[in-house]
Structure 1
Amino acid sequence: MKRSISILLLFCLCGSQLFAQRQAKKPVVHATIKPVGIVKNIPDSVLLDIVQRQTFRYFWNFAHPVSGLARERDNTVHAEYYWDYINEADDVPNFSKGTFGPEACAIGGSGFGIMATVVAVNRGWIGRDTALKRLVKIVDFLAKADCYHGIYPHFMNGVTGKTIPFGRLDDGADIVETSYLFMGLLTAREYFNKDVPLEKYFRNRVAEMWRDADWNWHSKGDNKALYWHWSPRNDFDMNFPVFGYDEALITYIVAASSETHPISKELYENSWVKSGGWKNGKSYYGIRLPLGNYEKGGPLFFEQYTYMGIDPNGLKDDHGIDYAEQVKNHTLINRAYCIENPKKFKGYGANCWGLTAGDSWKGYVAHCPEDDRGVIQPTATLSSFPYTPEYSMQALKHFYYDLGDKIWGPYGFADGFSETHNWYAKTHLAIDQGPIVVMIENYRTGLIWKLFMNCPEIKKGLKDLGFESKYN
C-alpha cells in the first residue's frame, strides 16, 4: 500500500550537471496564478472556484522548473516517514538519513497534475496554448528520462530524469504510479484534440509512451500475479503483488487497455479479485461495504485515485459489484466513524471528518478507522464531493471559514491537521492536492470522467475485464 511520484536532452558532456543545476534555480517564466486569501460569506459555487483554483497553483506555480513535473511535496521529506508508512509502525526506525530532496518529482502526482491542468484550461485559469506548452515540456522530458520497459519509477529527479529510489529494492519501475501518469496523459490526449501542429505533436508523444509501456512485463510471464515493482538491479525481488481492494484498480484497467502489451482477464481475476482482501460485505453503522478487508473501510484515497478518471456511476462488474455503492458507502462509513469519534479526538464531527493517507504529527501515515491518530486530511473530504456533496460542502465551509487561518495557504488547504495535538501542517503533497481539483470538477461537470471514460482503449479495457458502464 504505497504511493499514497529530461530536460529536453539528457546532459552527457562534461560540465552539463552544473548547467542543469543552474537551470533548476532559474525563476519560472510562465504566468503565475495569484493566491486568494480568506473571503467571507460567498456563494458555494464561488467557494468551489477559489478552492480548485488555489489548489491548482501547486501544479502550476510550484511545478519543477526544468521538467514541468509535479514536485512530490513542498517541503523536504525524510525517507523515514515513508518507511513508517509502509510498515505502519508507531516507532520510526532509523532506516535512512537521506532525503528525497527538492528535485524529487512524483510520477503519479504528475498524472494528477496533468488532469488538474485540463480542468484549469477548461475553466479559463490558464490559456490552452500556454497549458499545452507545459504538457509538451513534460512529455519531452519523460521521453528522455529513466523508464523500464516503458514503465516509470515512483520518484524522478526533475533535473536529470534519473530515478530516485523509494527504497533499497524499489529503485526501478512502479506500475501503479505509472498507471496514474497515463490516466492523466490519456485524459489530456482526449482534451487536446485539435488539428493543429502542437496538439498533434503532444498526442503523438503520448502515443509513443503508451505504445512502449509493457504492462504485461510485470506479470513475470504468467497469469498468476501482477507485481508492483521491477528493477534492473533487483529484478522482482520487491515481491509485492498488486492485490485488492485498494487504490490500484486503475492499474489493472489501464494495463488491460494497452494495445501493445495488455494483461489478461485471467491475470486480473487471479491477482486482484481472488486476493484475500478483495471482498468485504459487512455493514458498519448500517451501511454495507462491498469491497476491501479493512474494518470500517481503509483510507479514503482507495475511493479517489482510481475514480479521478473512472466514473463509478453505472459501473458494474461481472461479480455483481456496484462501484457507485462502493465509493459512496466507504465515504459515508468514514464520516460516520469520525462522528462517533471513539477515541474522543478534539474537533471530529459532522463538519470535520476525512481519514486518509497524508502528513501528520507522526510523519506520513495511512490514516483510517483502524489507524486513527486524530488527524484530518482535507483531501479526504474534498475529494469525496462526487459521492457526498452535502457533507463535503459542510466540511469545506468549516475548514475554510473556521480553520482557514490555520490551514489555508497559497496552495490551498494544508495536508492535514490535528486539533487534539494543536498541530497544523504547512505541507502540501501532489498526490493529495491533485484529487481535490479533479474530483470537485467531476462533481461539478464530470469533465475528467467524460474525457477518460470515452478513450477507446479504456472502453475496451473495461469490457475485457468484465466491466459495464454507461459509456459503452
Structure 2
Amino acid sequence: MKLLLFCLGLLFLFTACREDENPELLLLEASVGNLEIPLDGTVLEQVPLDRTISLRFSENLDPATVAGSIRLSAEGQALQINTNLASGQTIAVQALGGLQSGQIHQLEILSSLKSTRGTGYVGKTLSFSTQSGALTVESVTFSGGETLPNGRIQNVNLAFEAQLNFNFPLDPNNLQSAVKLTGPDSPVLTFELLENQKTLRIRSSTPLLDLSKFRLQLTEALSGANGEKFSGWEQEFYTAVDPDPKFPVLSDEALLTKVQEYTFRYFWDFAHPASGMARERITSGNTVTAGGSGFGLMALIVGVDRGFITRAQAIARWTQIIGFLETADRFHGAWPHWINGETGKTIPFSAKDNGGDLVETALLVQGLLTVQAYLDPSVGAEKSLIDKITTLWQEVEWDWYTKNDSGVLYWHWSPDFGWEMNLPISGYNESLIVYVLAASSPTHPIAKSTYDQGWAKNGGIKNGKSFYGKTLPLGVDYGGPLFFSHYSFLGLDPRKLRDQYADYWEQNVQHSLINQAHAVANPKSFVGYSEANWGFTASDNQQGYSAHSPSNDLGVITPTAALSSFPYTPVESLSALRFFYYSLGDRIWGEYGFHDAYNLTDSWYADSYLAIDQGPIILMIENHRSALLWELFMKNTEVKAGLDRLGFSYQ
C-alpha cells in the first residue's frame, strides 16, 4: 500500500512538471509573404505592398480570440484588416486595400489571444517598413463627358472640370508642374485634393474653346505623398458645343436667304472674267467646269428672283457664257469636264480624259434648258439666247455615246483615246438626268431599251432593303453619297416622278433620312455627329477628296449634303443649317457661304469652295422654298416627251 501511494505521488509530480514547461502561448514565427519578420523588434525593410502577414504559434488557437487580438497600423494610423485562422496554429492577416506605401507598419498581438486549452499570450509588437509603390490613376471623369464606343471622350463641359482617383495619396507640392492641359487654348488650372488626398479635382480658370480637341497630361513629376513614383498619364477629349450662337440670330427665312446670297457670290463674283463660267474650285485659276457652270446658269435665275442682281445683269452674263460655249471645244456635241476659261480649249481631267464628258454635259444642258424656260421670247436679246440654247442642245450627239448602239451610254469619248476610258453610265447614281436628256433629245435620242438595259440594268438598280429603319428603293446599300439625290434633280422635279423602278421622291427622301440616321448612329465613333451635325457626300477632306457616304465614312461632314436635301428633309436640314451657321460660325462660313467640309475629330476645316458643291445649295434651297427651278425645267415639252418615252409619270 505504501508503495502504491509513493508511485501515485511520483506520477503527480511528473505531470505538474510537464505543465510548467509551457506555462504560456508562444509566437514561433512571423512573416510577410516569404520575408521573415524578426521577433526581437528589429524592423524588416522593403516589404512589398500586396503581401499577406502570417503568424505561427506554439499551440492551437481559440478562434473566438483571434479577430480582436490582432491590430495593424501604419505611421500611427489604424488599418482595416481581415484575420483568418489558416490552420490551428497559424493566423493570416490581410490589410484591406493593401499595405501603405513607404511607411513603417506596427503589428500588435494582444494578450487577449489564447490557445484552445486557455493558455494566454504575453503580447508583442512587430515592425516592418514597406516599399514605395507605383502611383497610378485608377479612374477619371470629365464633367459632361460622353465616352464613345471606341474610347473617344466628347461633349466635355466648356467650364472644364476633371476628377482623377489614384491608388495612393498625392504630394500636393508638385501638382502645378505635373499637370498640363494642351489644346487650342491653355487656361490656368486650379487643383483640389479630396478623399484623403487620393482624389484630384482639376478646374480651368476660363471656359475652353468649344468643339475642340484637348489633351490632359500628368507628367512623371507627379508623385505620391510617401514618395510613390508616377510613370505618366494622358487622355484626349473633345469639348461640347457652345450654346451661344456665333452670329446674331436671324429668322429661318432670313437665314435661308443669306445662305443663298453668299453662295450665289461664288457664281457671280468669282466666275471666270473672260467666259463667265464657274471655276472648278477657289484655286482653279483658268480651269472652269462644265457641270458646275450648269449649276451657275441656274443660280443666276435665283439671283434675279431673290434680288441679288438685276435681270439685265443676268442676261449679260448668260450672253457671255453661251457665247463662250458656242466656240469652246466639243466632242460630238459634248463638252469636256474641264475647259480653259480664256481659250475654250480642253484641260484634261485625267490622262485619257481629254474629250467629251457626257455627265458634265448633261448637268450643263440641264442648266441651259432651265434658263431657256426663264427667258422671254418677246424680248429680242432674250429670244436670241433661246435660239442659241436650242442649237447647243440639239448639237449634243447623245446617241453617239452609246458606242455603236451597245445598249448603254458611255461617260467619255476622246479623239485621242477613243473609248479607252470605258466607263458605262449605269445606275443608280447621280446620272439619271443623262438618260432623261438623251431620251428627250429632238435630234439624237436614245431608245428606251438603252435606259432599261444600260441605266436600270433591267431592274438591277433596285434595292428594297431597310437601313436604320428606312427602306431604300434604289441603289447601293445606305444610298451612297447624297449628291446622287441632288445633281439630277436640280431641274428634274422628283415630287411626282415615278417609273417602273421607283418613286423618285420616296427614293430621295429615304436616301436623305438614312444619311442623317447614320450620323445619329455614329457606328465609327466620330466626334460631334448628331441629329444636327450630319451630311455625307463627295467633297474635300483632310487627306484630299473622297465620295463620303455611310459606307465611306471618314469623319467628314459636308454642308452641301444636308443643305441640298432641304426639299426632302426640311426639318432635319434646317437643324443642320442652324448648327453649321450658329455653332460652327466662321470656322466654316466665309465670303461665299459655307466652306466645303470639316472634320471635328481631326480638328480640320476646309478653306475651299467647289462649284459642284456650292450650286446644289442655292438651287435646292430655292426648290424647297418656291420650286422655281423645277417648274421652269419641267416646262420643256421635249423633256416631257423624253420622260414619256422612258415610261415615267410626273404629274
Residue in structure 2 matched with residue 148 of structure 1 by the alignment: 331
Q: Does the 8 Å CA contact 2:328/2:343 hold for their aligned counterparts?
A: yes
Report what 1:204 is aligned to. Answer: 387
Equivalent in the alignment of 1:296: 478
Match of 1:374 among 544, 551, 555: 555
Per-residue CA shift, 1:41-96, capped at 9, x if unaligned?
A: 21100000000010000000000000000000002xxxxxxxxxxxxxxxxxxxxx
Counterpart Cα distance in 2 of 1:38 and 1:439:
25
Q: Give the structure 1 partner of residue 350 of structure 2.
A: 167
Task: Determine the structure 2 residue equivalent to 1:335.
Answer: 516
Question: Structure 2 residue aligned with 1:44, among 252, 259, 265?
Answer: 252
Q: 1:220 aligns with which of 395, 403, 417?
A: 403
Amino acid corresponding to residue 467 of structure 1 in structure 2: F
Structure 1 length-normalised TM: 0.85
SS of 1:317 mapped into structure 2? coil
Paired letter, 2:379: V
- Report the equivalent of 1:231: 414
Equivalent residue letter for 2:275: S
The structure 1 residue matched to 2:371, chosen from 180, 188, 207, is 188
**Residues 413-461 of structure 1, C-alpha deviations (whole Å, 9 max, x = no match):** 0000001010000000000000000000000000000000111111111
Aligned twin of 1:326:
507
Residues 246 and 583 in structure 2, CA contact (< 8 A), matched pair in contact too: no
1:451 aligns with 2:632: yes
Q: What are the within-5 Å matches in structure 2 for residues 336-355 of structure 1?
A: 336-355=517-536
8 Å Cα contact 2:330/2:336 also seen in 1: yes
Q: Distance in 2 between matches of 1:137 and 1:347?
A: 44
Amino acid at match of 1:50: K
- Deviation, 1:194, is 3.9
Partner Cα separation in structure 2 for residue 326 and residue 175 of structure 1: 24
Deviation at 1:318, TM superposition (A): 2.6
- Is the contact made by 1:223 and 1:264 (CA closer than 8 Å) also made in structure 2? no
Identity over aligned residues, as a percent? 52
List aligned pairs for 1:457-468, cutoff 5 A. 457-468=638-649
SS in 1 for 2:475: coil
Q: For residue 67 of structure 1, what is the aligned residue in structure 2?
A: 275
Q: Distance in 2 between matches of 1:112 and 1:405?
A: 25
Instruction: Give 1 or 2: higher strand fraction.
Output: 2
Q: Which amino acid aligns with 2:518?
A: Y
In 2, Cα distance between the equivalents of 1:276 and 1:368? 23
Q: Is the 8 A contact 1:256 1:464 kept in 2?
A: yes
> Structure 1, residues 168-222: CA drift from partner, whole Å, max 9, x if none?
1111000000000000000000001241111011111101101111110001121
In structure 2, the CA distance between the partners of 1:173 and 1:135, relative to structure 1 (3 Å rule), is: same
Amino acid at match of 1:413: F
2:569 corresponds in structure 1 to 388
Distance in 2 separating the partners of 1:277 and 1:444: 34
Q: Deviations over 1:128-187 (max 9, x none)?
A: 011111011001011111001110000000011000111111110000000000000000
Q: C-alpha distance in 2, partners of 1:48/1:241?
A: 38
Q: Give 1:322 deviation, angstroms.
A: 0.8
1:237 shift after superposition: 1.0
| 2:427 equivalent among 244, 252, 257 | 244
Select which of 424, 428, 452 maps to 2:609.
428
Aligned equivalent of 1:104: 287
Gaps of 5+ in 1: 1-36, 76-100
Q: One-letter code of the match for 1:249?
A: L
Query: What corresponds to 2:261 in structure 1?
Result: 53
Alignment partner, residue 440 of structure 1: 621
Does the 8 Å contact 1:334/1:369 carry over to 2? yes
Query: What displacement does 1:223 show?
Result: 4.6
Structure 2 residue aligned with 1:283: 466
Q: TM-score, normalised by structure 2?
A: 0.62
**Retained in 1: the 8 A contact 2:247–2:585?**
no
User: Which runs of structure 2 are paired with 1:125-140 in the superposition (5 Å)?
Assistant: 125-140=308-323
Partner of residue 491, structure 2: 309
Name the amino acid aligned to 2:626. T
Mapped to 2, the partners of 1:264 and 1:277 lie a distance apart of 19
Equivalent position SS for 2:309: coil
Structure 2 CA distance for aligned equivalents of residues 327 and 50 of structure 1: 25
Letter in 2 for 1:310: L
What SS does the aligned partner of 1:105 have?
strand
How far apart are 1:339 and its partner, in Å?
0.4
* C-alpha distance in structure 2 between counterparts of 1:387 and 1:276, whole Å: 24
The Cα RMSD (Å) is 1.2
Q: Find the counterpart in structure 2 of residue 4 from structure 1.
A: none
Q: Is the CA contact (8 Å cut-off) linking 1:244 and 1:275 kept in structure 2?
A: no
Give unmatched runs, 5+ long, in structure 2.
Answer: 1-244
CA distance in 2: counterparts of 1:195 and 1:407, whole angstroms? 44
Q: Contact (CA 8 Å) 2:377, 2:386: kept in 1 or not? A: no
Return the alpha-carbon distance in structure 1 between the equivalents of residues 541 and 585 of structure 2. 18
Evaluate the alpha carbon distance shift between residue 422 and residue 277 of structure 1 in structure 2; reply closer, same or farther with a 3 A threshold. Answer: farther
Task: Supply the distance in 2 between the matched residues of 1:191 and 1:39 (Cα, whole angstroms).
Answer: 35
Residue 451 of structure 2 is matched in structure 1 by 268
The residue type paired with residue 70 of structure 1 is A
Bigger Rg, structure 1 or 2: 2
Q: Could you tell me whether the CA contact under 8 Å between 2:246 and 2:584 is conserved in 1?
A: no
2-side partners of 1:342 and 1:261: how far apart? 47
Q: Quick check: 1:243–1:275 contact (8 Å CA) kept in 2?
A: no
Question: 1:310, CA displacement in angstroms?
Answer: 1.1
Q: CA deviation at 1:38?
A: 6.9
Letter in 1 for 2:513: L
CA contact (8 A) 1:249 1:306 kept: yes
- Cα distance, 1:40 vs structure 2: 1.2
Change (3 A) 1:163 1:405: same
Distance in 2, Cα, partners of 1:193 & 1:360: 43
**Structure having greater relative contact order (Cα 8 Å, sep ≥ 6):** 1
